[in-house]
Structures are given as C-alpha cells and as structure tokens.
Amino acid sequence: MNPGDNNAQTLERELAWFQKILDIRIRLYFEQGCEYTSIEDVPAPDLNSGNDPEKDNSLYARTIKEFSMSDAERIVLLLALIPHVRPQVLDTFFIDNQNFKRPFTEFGGWKGNTHSGFLPTGETVSFILAANSLEKRFKIIQLFEADHFFAKNNILRLENRGTGEPLFSGQLVISIDFLNRLTTGTTHKPDYNINFPAKLITTRLDWKDLVLPPEVFDEIQTINSWIRHGKTILKTWGFDRVIKPGYRSLFYGPSGTGKTLTASLIGKRAKADVYRIDLSMVVSKYIGETEKNLANVFDQAEKKNWILFFDEADALFGKRTQTTNSNDRHANQEVSYLLQRVEDYPGVVLLATNLKANIDEAFARRFQSVVYFPIPNPELRYALWKNHLNNHFDSLQEGMLEEIAHKYELSGGAIINVVRYGAVRALQEDRDLISRNDLVCGIAKELIKEGKTLQE
C-alpha cells in the first residue's frame, strides 16, 4: 500500500472523530440535547492499530506519535488540514447569528479568493477547544508560541494577522511540507513562485570541471569541512557556547568566474539542496512584503538544512542609505531584518556579488570567509578551453588553442558562450570539429558585450 493510501485510512478515522467533536461542541454551546457533557469525553482514535490487527504505520499516525500530540493538538492539526482534504466538514460554521444577522464572531474564519468553503482561524480553534472558558482559551495561546513544536518544526501557524488585530484572528495555515507528508506522503521541494522567491539549483558538473586558483579551492574546502564537521565542533567539542551555528561566506568577483557553480557543487557534495534567492521577487515596494517573502524562505530552509545562495547580493544586502524619508527608513529596516535572519540561520548562507565594495560592512563583518573569484589566468583559461571543447577541437591546432588562452582574457562563463557559438557554427557548415576561426568569431562577440574590440 502506498503512503497516500495509508494516510487516507488513518485520516478517515481522524475526520470521523473530529466531526463528532464539532457536533458535540455546537450542541453544548447552543444548549441543545447532547449525550456528552464535554468534548473531552470522546476518545480519540487509537493510532496503534487500524481496522486490521496490524500496527498503523501511516505517516500520519507516525507524525502524531513522533510529537506525542495531545487530543487538543490533534484537533488543531485536523482543523488546519480539513480545508485541503474535506472542506465541507466546516460548513457548519456558515450558520448566522439571527439576533445580529451576521456570522457568529466566536466561529472566526476567513474567506479565500477562490475557495468557497470556511477557512479556519485561531478563533475557530478557540471555539472548538475552549468555547467560553477563558482559562482554556489562554492555554490555547501556547499552541502557537515559538517554542511549541508546531512552530519549531514548521507544521502550522497563525498568519496574516493585521496590525493591532487579535492574535486569534490570524489564519490557521499548515505548511506545504506537512500537508504533503500527511496526505500523499511525498516529500515536497518547493518551486519558484510569487510567495516563494527561490529556485532549487543543481548541476551535472563535478569538482573536476571547476577550474579555480589553488587559494580559492582552499577557501571552498574550508566551507566543505565546516558542513562535514560543524556538529562535532559545536557539540562534541563544546564550542556552541561561543560560536553560533551556521556558516556565512561572501563570493565576489566578475561575472562568469564560477560563483554559482561552486555553490551548486558545495550542495552536491553535502547532499543538501541549494536554493538561489531571486532578489527581484524578494524586494517589494509594499512595506512589509520583503520581510514576509524572505521569512517564508528562511522558515522552510531552517527545517531542511538548505544552503541559501543570494546571487547579486548587493541588490539587497547593499550599503544602507542615509535616512531622509520614510522610504529610506523602511529600506534600512529591511537590511537590518535580513542581517538578523542571515546571522541566525543555522545552515550555510552564500552571498555572491560582482563588487565587494557594494556590500554593507555590517554584513561583511559577519562572514566567516570572503572568497575572491578572479578572471582565470592564461594557464587556467587553457584548462577551461580544453575542458569545455571536449575533444571537438582539431588537435593539430593545439598550439593555437594555447595561444587563444594566453591572448584573450575571458571568464569561464564567457568561454562557455564562445564554445556554444563555435559548435553551432561548425555544424552549420557540416563540420565535426570547431576551428580556430569559429572561436575567434565567438570571442569577438563576447568582447563586444563588454564594450571591447577584438585585436588579432
């Protein structure tokens, strides 16, 4: 049986229990006839066994047992899940208060843009679990505090509470990770979208394809070593008293010198996902949206040990401006927020920029390493040409290839562009090998991009 089927069977029993709880709460609250005096009188399903004698090993049941969830916590989890799996269960909350001709305030709830069903809030949680009891209502607050496992494990949260509005007016939202885990049983890797401005980057290349000066490789190896031995340093050696978890490094240098490839290879070696932050989507003209977009990325990353890669980082981590108006103050607040999130992130954060001077010094002081990626020297350029041409260059012109490497100062990215152009041109002319002339024409095009001219 696949994970989704196992979860479905467990969820059917959980939903039946929840529906009974909800029915009893409505009856007791409105003083209708009911055989129970409290919702606590209804036993929760036994997740140690299903309808058959075998142990319930569904991901749903294992999650409940992993966190030793109480009945109240199980109800909150179900309430967050129901809009995604069986929204009609909450239709009960659409009844109106006839005295005021409006919905009952105590039911809470909010309306989605397209979803026509009832979407629960913290107030909905409070109604089901506490009704009119202030003592119980105050205890419910603990379920949404930062030290509760709901928040610490990014399971569910109350969000989008307006400024100055009550805590329980926030929407009850389950994370996409746990939504997938508790339904289809799949592992979720978020995709680039308006609410998640980051993209998973991978590479088919390996370390042998990365051509860098030895001193740069040494810096990169330090990052790899931290990823491998960081826990030993912090926990076994006891340095967690003075050293914060996580590692922050700044990559700087001209475009095409290997910064993004290096970030991808670090993740590949560590078997960790590398997410590149799209700064154009992070920065928002709307006050508070930048922080919200970034918080979404950091909150998910902290639970999954992602490597975060901020490309063109000076666009967001640049020098703070002198405060002359409210926009300047808000921009500086965003920088301060980012500084704090980056500093507190327990994983690896890599920032890349073409110009180190553009990075705010407050950030630079917090980097564990600053790595310069230079334009490759002639020997490294020759190695790049040989590597990228992949035996599709006439070996009789080997000396000419070395001449090209010494004569034209190009980055690795520019060399790849030239090779692409040469391959296209060779095939257009029904040739199996790229010629020197193909490469020179491609180099001329690359130099034009940089405002230079080819000098033979």
C-alpha span between 107 and 125 (Å, rounded): 8
Based on the fold, state whether residues 12 and 161 are members of the same structural domain.
Answer: yes
Contact 153, 127 (CB under 8 A): no
Nearest to residue 414, comparing CAs of 449, 454, 372, 378? Answer: 449
Average confidence (pLDDT) over 242-259 = 93
pLDDT at 281 over 70: no
Based on the fold, state whether residues 251 and 337 are members of the same structural domain.
Answer: yes
Looking up tokens 């670090």 gives: 266
Residue 454 domain-assigned (yes or no)? no
CA angle at 423 for the pair 419 and 429, rounded to the nearest 5°: 145
C-alpha span between 60 and 4 (Å, rounded): 10
pLDDT at 53 over 60: no
pLDDT at 332 over 90: no
Q: Higher pLDDT residue, 394 or 26?
A: 26
Phi, psi of 117, deg, nearest 5: -85, 180
pLDDT tens digits along 339-388: 788 888 999 999 998 877 777 676 777 889 999 999 999 999 999 999 99
Based on the fold, state whether residues 352 and 402 are members of the same structural domain.
Answer: no
Q: What is the mean pLDDT of the chain?
A: 87
Residue 455 domain-assigned (yes or no)? no
pLDDT at 282 over 70: no
Contact 254, 246 (CB under 8 A): no
pLDDT at 229 over 50: yes
Residue 259 domain-assigned (yes or no)? yes
Based on the fold, state whether residues 368 and 300 are members of the same structural domain.
Answer: yes
Contact 142, 148 (CB under 8 A): yes
Phi, psi of 115, deg, nearest 5: -75, 130
Last residue of a domain, one of 372, 395, 423: 372
3-class SS at 22? Answer: helix
Based on the fold, state whether residues 213 and 339 are members of the same structural domain.
Answer: yes
